[in-house]
A and B are shown apart, each in its own frame.
Chain A
Amino acid sequence: AQSVAQPEDQVNVAEGNPLTVKCTYSVSGNPYLFWYVQYPNRGLQFLLKYITGDNLVKGSYGFEAEFNKSQTSFHLKKPSALVSDSALYFCAVRDGYGSGNTGKLIFGQGTTLQVKP
């Protein structure tokens, strides 16, 4: 079965510093990986995805993620954090491919990012 893990419950970073939110995956076959952000009392917003191609994927709000097949990781990064980036971040993997695909995403447990001024 497909799964993702986010090893950190919380990441703290100072404004202006680079940030990394970690995600590792376990899949059979090629992974379809996603990052979402959730602000308090809001729905999940799509940030970026890796399907195929370049290992460095660029997304919304200046975020990017690096797909690393040998380490089975898909870490979310941003060169310079903003206080407004403080939120809950979810990594996700699509469950199933081809004709049996339901499109369902399986989510990690979430990582709270706290950016301090």
Chain B
Amino acid sequence: DTAVSQTPKYLVTQMGNDKSIKCEQNLGHDTMYWYKQDSKKFLKIMFSYNNKELIINETVPNRFSPKSPDKAHLNLHINSLELGDSAVYFCASSQVGGTGVTGELFFGEGSRLTVL
């Protein structure tokens, strides 16, 4: 049973289109994250939600809009896609508050976005 699952795994689309990536975690964690991994494999935080509240919003173009309908789900919608948006997007979760805090993040398998 996959702990953090993302769909789709691959996305190929044209410039200017809008696309969404979905993420779900079944670990009961209170916090979820979106990270972007570029072509040089650098990992950078984009957004984080804690119990459906946005707590991290790094310097990301406002074409990127995250949404968390509940603490087990975090989606990422991208408008007007550009060539530079091509990357692998990783969803992750962790337990930040309360008991059972361990610190490590659990990652999904990634969604590879290619913008043509």
Contact = CB atoms under 8 A, between A and B. Distances in A.
A102 B104 contact: no
A34 B103 contact: yes
Contacts of B56: 102, 104
Contacts of A88: 41
Interface stretch (B12-20, B43-51, B66-74, B77-85): B43-51
Nearest to A90: B43
A117 interface: no
Chain A interface secondary structure, helix, strand, loop or mixed?
A: strand
A42 B103 contact: no
Interface in B64-116: 90, 92, 94-96, 102-110, 112
Given A90-B43, A102-B31, A107-B43, A49 B109 contact: no
Nearest to A103: B96
Most buried by A among B56, B104, B105, B109: B104
Contacts of A41: 110, 112
A44 interface: yes
Nearest to A99: B97
A43 B108 CA distance: 6
Interface in A28-61: 32, 34, 36, 38, 41-46, 49, 51
Interface residues of B, number: 27
Interface residues of A, number: 24
Given A90-B43, A102-B48, A104-B48, A43 B103 contact: no
Contacts of A51: 103
A11 B80 CA distance: 40
Contacts of A71: none
B27 interface: no
A103 B42 contact: no
Interface string B27-55: 00001010000001111010010100001
Given A36-B107, A103-B50, 7 more contacts: A43-B4, A44-B90, A102-B31, A102-B50, A104-B33, A105-B105, A110-B43
8 tightest A-B CB contacts, nearest first: A103-B96, A43-B107, A107-B43, A44-B107, A43-B109, A103-B94, A46-B104, A110-B41
